[in-house]
Amino acid sequence: MQRRSSCTSKAALLLALCTVVAWLAGAEAEPVKIAVLTDMSGPYAGITATNVEAAKMAIDDFGGKLLGEPIEYIHRDHQCKPDVANQKSKELYEKEKVDVIFDVPNSAAGLAVSNQAKLHKKLFFSIGSGTTRHSGPDCNRYTFDWAYNDYMLATAVGLWAADNLGKKWFTITADYAWGHDLLKHFSATKKKKGGKLLGNEMVALGASDFSPYILKAMQANPEALVLLNAGKDGINATKQAAEFGLKKKAKIVHALLFIDDCKAAGPEVFADDYVTGAWYWKSDNPGSKEFVEKWQKKFNRPPNWMNAATYSAVTQYLKAVERAGSKDAPAVIKALEGHKFSDLLANPGYIRPEDHMQVGKAYILRAKRPEEIKEPWDYFEIVGSIPPEEAYQDPKDTGCKMDDF
């Protein structure tokens, strides 16, 4: 239908061209084609640009061939702009004819691509964007949410901190959709554990002076200061909290902290802080050591957990195509739904059919003090884990109504 309506509106030459293209497309045996759409030049590039390499590595380790054809691969830079992500996803699905897109950090970009996946009836694995809408009200049959979401980030560290650090908390929240989302989930955890929220401060994104908020937190005298922000905001807030001496009286808990942040700010800034992680490069999950070794050799540094998540998602997709015996979207989706697996990221991992959330244990990491760090980049220590049933929302409560194909 689409092809016919597009051809009638053009000259005869183009009609002929259309026919040739259609014939060529039909005649060729179609290999599986994989795309990574990520931020390679915007604010997240430092964390996510290497996901491209993780996907390539996953394809190589898989053997490079699937269904008797070599696996094709392509990547695009969405520049951390949701509109560009949306347009690029159309290019990938329509012109490049990819079967699946991976990653897409930034929630707005991720949600836009998820909608395009549904419209094009092709797969999308959301890795970089943490919004719970992927496995909640905006869920759809073609989108899978991999490795983590905001609920898990806030809940896991909240549960752990309540049992191990004390029940009197103070939060500093990034004042936009993402921060509000984290605060909502964190407050719910607090209620569940009978904790007490002494106060919350909303801070504009990109603020450089946190001193008024830190002072308020100090007055409230909490057992844990919870930072529901990320990147530069997290670094600034932590530095200033240390300067005011807050770290002598309370622990700092982060919702999101990468080894890259520790490298950038210096390990002394985050010493003895706690954070949720989907994975850490010292993990002993099956295949984890091999992956890290290969990565170290190639890039002279260990991978971050987004890299591991990308590797895992690509691998699990390829295995699902193999199980389904076809790259046909509905067949692959059925092979993924309810699938249990063990790999470098999740041991064990499970893809929930109800909301397409891939769940696994959530790790609690403690940032090491400078004198404890024996190896470059070894900034964290795994101090605990939260089982998936507690770290992720019950699928009955997510608000996801899974649609048909």
Q: Does 25 bind another protein (CB under 8 A)?
A: no
Q: Does 269 bind another protein (CB under 8 A)?
A: no
Distances (CA, A) of 208 to 66, 188, 215, 236: 50, 29, 15, 7
- For 350, the 3-state DSSP assignment is strand
Taking residue 391's Cβ as centre, other Cβ atoms within 10 Å add up to 25
Least Cβ distance, residue 257 to another protein (angstroms): 21
Distances (CA, A) of 19 to 90, 95, 96: 22, 16, 18
Helix/strand number for the chain, H first, E second: 17, 17
Can you list the alpha helix ranges (DSSP code H) found in 245-304?
246-249, 259-265, 267-270, 288-299
Least Cβ distance, residue 35 to another protein (angstroms): 12
Nearer to another protein, 4 or 340 (CB): 4
Q: Kindly state the tokens that stand for 379.
A: 């900034």
Q: Does 187 bind another protein (CB under 8 A)?
A: no
Q: Which stretch binds another protein (CB under 8 A): 73-81, 248-256, 297-305, 371-379?
A: 73-81
Among 40, 165, 224, 228, binds another protein (CB under 8 A): 40
How many Å apart are CA 343 and CA 327, to the nearest integer? 22
Size of the site for another protein (CB under 8 A): 37
Q: Does 342 bind another protein (CB under 8 A)?
A: no
Least Cβ distance, residue 337 to another protein (angstroms): 23
Among 28, 95, 297, 389, binds another protein (CB under 8 A): 95
Q: Does 6 bind another protein (CB under 8 A)?
A: yes
Among 180, 193, 216, 247, binds another protein (CB under 8 A): 180
- Residue 119 has phi, psi (to 5 degrees) of -65, -35
How many Å apart are CA 167 and CA 190, to the nearest integer? 8
- For 209, the 3-state DSSP assignment is coil
Q: Does 290 bind another protein (CB under 8 A)?
A: no
Q: Does 49 bind another protein (CB under 8 A)?
A: yes
Q: Are 315 and 62 a contacting pair, CB within 8 Å?
A: yes
Bridge-based pairing state of the strands 196-203 and 168-174: parallel
Q: Which 160-179 positions form the footprint of another protein (CB under 8 A)? A: 176-178
Nearer to another protein, 5 or 300 (CB): 5
How many Å apart are CA 337 and CA 5, to the nearest integer? 35
Q: Does 8 bind another protein (CB under 8 A)?
A: no
Nearer to another protein, 111 or 214 (CB): 111
Amino acid symbol at 98 = V
Nearer to another protein, 90 or 339 (CB): 90
- Tell me which residues touch another protein (CB under 8 A): 2, 5-6, 9-10, 14, 17, 40-41, 45, 49, 76-77, 79, 81-83, 86-87, 90-91, 94-95, 107-108, 111-112, 115-116, 119, 131, 133, 138, 176-178, 180
